[in-house]
């Protein structure tokens, strides 16, 4: 069955989670948060990290019941063949839609900031092709690449440190002057930015280590991402004034654009180059998950083939959406909100059904 050296190490597991979570959203997160909860967005972010901590705890409990199965397999066993397959099919659709959303937002941003004259599909095709190559590899290869690419986070972090002399803490105050409602609405926004943790349910069975170690690693990853986001939000909120951030949809890039090094005069472009890797990694994860699902649906062993199928699907979907059937904003809203169903509601439902039916792995109470 599963070979020892075909397993992910705990480190790789950690980086797969953070690379999937940190992606397209990080650049506009401060703006999105500020839209709904003003300068109190950081409180919403902290609340949502706690919420997600609870959810991944449930994921872990599910894993403890079926330590060798991923979400697709679990659903087949718990719900039976027909319902299980249809839910799995919905998951595949969801991943395909998320993938196309990432592609659209990515190429829009590149068009806006770097290459205004390049046709959008060219930008997409480059990202798509390199991600197809990445996600047709084995999960351990993906894990290794993600680990390597994560070293670039240090650069992102250091670049943002430039802004520190210009920060004005008083832009964060007064705290909660508009009451508690805007903060709660902000929780919605920040959960959306943190989506992607559902990948945990699919890779947990292929990670080396005891159940406890895994729980520590995944919680660590969630908090790492949470603190990184918090840092970004804090920097943007105190660099831009409360009125200014309302008109700056990509505050992180805008902030970096106002600095200049002796050698690099456009730091925002440097940031963008590194950020593209983060986008590519989260896109590859979704492509990987989609191909895993289709493989399950068609009872096939050749995943590479399905990576191509899904990639083509995604590309066609993007072309259709771009022909102005619906606006990107509404599409983004639908897709990211459906994340609640697939990342939170359905797994929790599955866990409740497990509890109700008292289902456990047949080999007994392992771990």
Residues 8/208, Cβ–Cβ less than 8 Å: yes
Torsion sign over Cα 157, 132, 310, 312 = positive
Cβ proximity to other proteins, 260 vs 345, nearer residue: 260
Of 213 and 258, nearer to other proteins (C-beta) is 258
Q: How far apart are the C-alpha atoms of 12 and 190, rounded to whole Å?
A: 25
Sign of CA dihedral 273, 38, 345, 329: negative
CB of 144 to other proteins, least distance (A): 23
Contact assessment for residue 275 and residue 26, using Cβ atoms and an 8 Å cutoff:
yes
Counting residues that bind other proteins (by CB under 8 A) gives: 31
Name which of 116 and 364 has its Cβ closer to other proteins: 116
340 binds other proteins (CB under 8 A): no
Determine, following the binding rule CB under 8 A, whether residue 241 of this chain makes contact with other proteins: yes
Q: Mapping DSSP to helix (H, G, I), strand (E, B) and coil, where does residue 207 land?
A: strand
Determine, following the binding rule CB under 8 A, whether residue 304 of this chain makes contact with other proteins. no
Contact pattern for other proteins over residues 110 through 149, marking x by CB under 8 A? --xxxxxxxx--x---x-----------------------
Alpha-carbon distance of 134 to 3, in angstroms, equals 21
Taking the least distance from each CB to other proteins, the nearer of 57 and 175 is 175
Q: In angstroms, give the least distance from the CB of 119 to other proteins.
A: 7
**Whole-number minimum distance, CB 174 to other proteins, in Å?**
4
User: CB-wise, 157 or 170, nearer to other proteins?
Assistant: 170
Using CB under 8 A as the binding rule, the residues of this chain from 6 to 45 that contact other proteins are: none
End-to-end CA distance of the chain: give it in Å, rounded: 19
CB of 312 to other proteins, least distance (A): 18
- Spatial neighbors of 263 by CB under 8 A, at least 6 apart, are none
Residue 55 makes CB contacts below 8 A (sequence gap 6+) with: 197, 343, 344, 347, 348
Contact 41, 233 (CB under 8 A): yes
Residue 242 Cβ vs other proteins, minimum distance, rounded to whole Å: 6
Member of 138, 177, 302, 333 binding other proteins (CB under 8 A): 177
* 171 contacts other proteins (rule: CB under 8 A): yes
Name which of 117 and 299 has its Cβ closer to other proteins.
117
Burial class (CB in 10 A: 0-12, 13-18, 19+), 188: middle
Least Cα distance to 295 among 147, 139, 63, 145 occurs for 139
Q: Which residues contact other proteins (rule: CB under 8 A)?
A: 112-119, 122, 126, 166, 168, 170-174, 177, 239-244, 247, 254, 257-260, 265
């Amino acid at each position: 069955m599963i070979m020892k050296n075909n397993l992910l190490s705990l480190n790789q597991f950690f980086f797969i989670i953070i690379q999937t979570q940190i992606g397209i959203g990080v650049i506009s997160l401060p703006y999105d948060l500020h839209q709904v909860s003003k300068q109190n967005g950081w409180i919403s972010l902290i609340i949502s990290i706690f919420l997600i901590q609870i959810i991944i705890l449930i994921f872990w409990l599910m894993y403890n019941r079926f330590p060798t199965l991923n979400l697709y397999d679990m659903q087949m066993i718990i719900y039976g063949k027909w319902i299980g397959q249809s839910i799995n099919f919905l998951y595949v659709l969801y991943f395909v839609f998320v993938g196309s959303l990432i592609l659209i937002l990515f190429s829009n941003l590149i068009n806006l900031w770097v290459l205004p004259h390049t046709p959008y599909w060219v930008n997409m095709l480059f990202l798509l092709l390199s991600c197809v190559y990445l996600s047709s590899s084995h999960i351990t290869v993906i894990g290794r690449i993600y680990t390597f690419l994560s070293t670039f986070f240090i650069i992102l972090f250091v670049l943002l440190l430039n802004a520190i002399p210009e920060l004005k803490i008083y832009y964060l105050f007064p705290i909660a002057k508009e009451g508690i409602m805007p903060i709660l609405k902000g929780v919605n926004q920040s959960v959306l930015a943190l989506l992607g943790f559902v990948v945990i349910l699919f890779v947990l069975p292929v990670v080396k280590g005891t159940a406890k170690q895994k729980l520590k690693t995944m919680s660590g990853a969630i908090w790492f991402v949470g603190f990184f986001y918090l840092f970004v939000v804090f920097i943007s909120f105190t660099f831009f004034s409360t009125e200014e951030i309302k008109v700056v949809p990509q505050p992180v890039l805008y902030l970096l654009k106002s600095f200049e090094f002796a050698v690099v005069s456009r730091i925002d472009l440097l940031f963008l180059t590194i950020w593209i890797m983060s986008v590519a990694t989260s896109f590859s994860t979704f492509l990987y998950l989609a191909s895993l699902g289709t493989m399950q649906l068609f009872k096939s062993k050749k995943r590479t083939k399905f990576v191509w199928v899904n990639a083509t699907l995604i590309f066609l979907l993007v072309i259709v959406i771009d022909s102005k059937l619906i606006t990107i904003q509404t599409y983004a809203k639908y897709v990211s909100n459906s994340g609640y169903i697939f990342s939170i509601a359905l797994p929790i439902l599955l866990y409740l059904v497990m509890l109700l039916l008292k289902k456990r792995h047949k080999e007994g109470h392992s771990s």
